[in-house]
């Protein structure tokens, strides 16, 4: 699962870096991350006694997300001095929007909402499509990819109260699917930002990940313990990676490829998890996924500024963008080494702490 997660992060990176590499696309990668999140959160909640206390669970997730985010936020704030367009956009917003922008940048909570608020004709309104002309509230975000963290935090806030409740899971899954279909019928459900940025619609993917953990993982573990165990999980990993790498040449309509990719992800996650559990290399690669995802846009903007300020040939630009991709990986590794690995000590203490006995 670790290698797959980092490949998904790379899919988002190459969506933003003009290297002509497609992979599965940024939208599919983000939605697969939602499913993986559901799988992993279901696993840790049901297998960690300390998380019987929801506060302990949330504390652990905060330590997972915020330290690396704040490191990238701090550098992004300094770098914004070189981007006068950012401050022009912020200064053109009304006072309440500036305050809201400050709050979401500091807390992450609500960053996904910024994708749905647009300023035009002297007022603010909900976005029907990002193709509309106008200034979105998302322009106030210093760390552009972090809007997905707002969606993740919404998952985390409700997870302790639904993971162990099958009826709630089924009900919320059905409501999420119904809401998405209603939006499609209303004519805006297939328009960005509604396609993969709206928490109520994406909740179904998170719950699908929960179902994958709770109903498919036990079967995958039985297979792993059988004679086929040493081959099924590695083969599954290779198959998923090959499909992801060759996604762009699969001869299907985009909607069909997306459905197929998410279905394969749902079915493969238990086997990828089993492989990760026995492979230190796979786990280590997976630890790069979050720092790579959250920091890549900052690195890309630095290279974009360099390329714009100098006259480079097309070949030279391609080479610079390839160097940018390598730099993204180096920065991700440094964030992991200097922040994530050190914070993991405190996260481990939370996981092993026992809940207070019932009175």
**How far is the C-alpha of 31 from the C-alpha of 195, rounded, in Å?**
10
Which pLDDT does position 323 carry in this prediction?
96
Measured CA to CA in angstroms, residue 277 lies from 15, 22, 167, 291, 355 at distances of 30, 29, 30, 21, 26
Contact, 119 vs 133, CB < 8 A? no
**Per-residue model confidence as pLDDT tens digits over 136-152:** 899 999 999 999 999 99
Which position has the token pair 């290297």? Answer: 19
Question: What is 111-175 written as a DSSP string?
Answer: GGGGGGEEEETTEEEE-S-TTSSSEEGGGG-SSGGGHHHHHHHHHHHHHHHHTT-HHHHHHHHHH
Q: Are 311 and 263 in contact (CB under 8 A)?
A: no
Give me the pLDDT at residue 310, please.
Answer: 82
CA 196/CA 34 separation, integer angstroms:
10
C-beta of residue 323 within 8 angstroms of C-beta of residue 315:
no
| Of the candidates 5, 68, 6, 76, the residue with the CA atom closest to the CA atom of residue 329 | 6
What was the pLDDT predicted at 88?
A: 92
Which stretches of the chain score pLDDT less than 50? 357-359
Q: Report the pLDDT value the prediction gives residue 359, as an integer from 0 to 100.
A: 41
Query: What is this structure's pTM?
Result: 0.94
User: pLDDT per residue over 257-313, tens digit each?
Assistant: 999 999 999 999 999 999 999 899 999 999 999 999 999 999 999 999 888 888 888
pLDDT of residue 311: 82
What's the pLDDT score for residue 355? 56
């Amino acid at each position: 699962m670790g290698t797959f997660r980092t490949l998904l992060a790379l899919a988002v990176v190459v969506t933003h870096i003009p290297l002509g590499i497609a992979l599965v696309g940024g939208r599919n990668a983000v939605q697969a991350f939602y499913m993986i999140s559901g799988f992993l959160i279901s696993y840790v909640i049901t297998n960690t006694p300390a998380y019987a206390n929801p506060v302990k669970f949330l504390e652990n997730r905060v330590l997972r997300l915020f330290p690396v985010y704040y490191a990238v936020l701090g550098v992004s704030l300094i770098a914004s001095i070189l981007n006068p367009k950012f401050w022009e956009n912020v200064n053109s917003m009304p006072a309440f929007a500036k305050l809201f922008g400050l709050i979401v940048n500091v807390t992450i909570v609500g960053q996904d909402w910024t994708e749905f608020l647009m300023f035009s004709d002297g007022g603010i309104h909900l976005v029907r499509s990002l193709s509309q002309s106008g200034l979105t509230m998302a322009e106030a975000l210093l760390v552009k990819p972090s809007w997905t963290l707002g969606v993740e935090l919404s998952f985390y806030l409700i997870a302790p109260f639904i993971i162990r409740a099958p009826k709630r899971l089924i009900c919320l899954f059905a409501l999420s699917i119904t809401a998405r279909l209603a939006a499609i019928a209303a004519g805006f459900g297939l328009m960005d930002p509604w396609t993969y940025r709206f928490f109520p619609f994406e909740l179904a993917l998170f719950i699908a990940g929960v179902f994958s953990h709770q109903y498919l993982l036990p079967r995958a573990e039985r297979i792993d313990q059988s004679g086929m165990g040493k081959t099924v999980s590695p083969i599954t990993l290779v198959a998923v990676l090959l499909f992801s790498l060759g996604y762009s040449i699969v001869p299907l309509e985009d909607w069909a490829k997306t459905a197929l990719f998410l279905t394969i992800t749902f079915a493969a996650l238990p086997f990828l998890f089993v492989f990760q559990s026995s492979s230190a290399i796979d786990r280590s690669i997976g630890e790069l996924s979050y720092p790579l995802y959250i920091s890549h846009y900052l690195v890309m903007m630095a290279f974009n500024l360099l390329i714009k300020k100098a006259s480079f040939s097309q070949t030279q630009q391609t080479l610079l963008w390839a160097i940018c991709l390598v730099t993204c990986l180096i920065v991700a590794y440094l964030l992991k080494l200097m922040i994530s690995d050190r914070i993991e000590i405190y996260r481990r203490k939370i996981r092993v702490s026992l809940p207070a006995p019932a009175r």
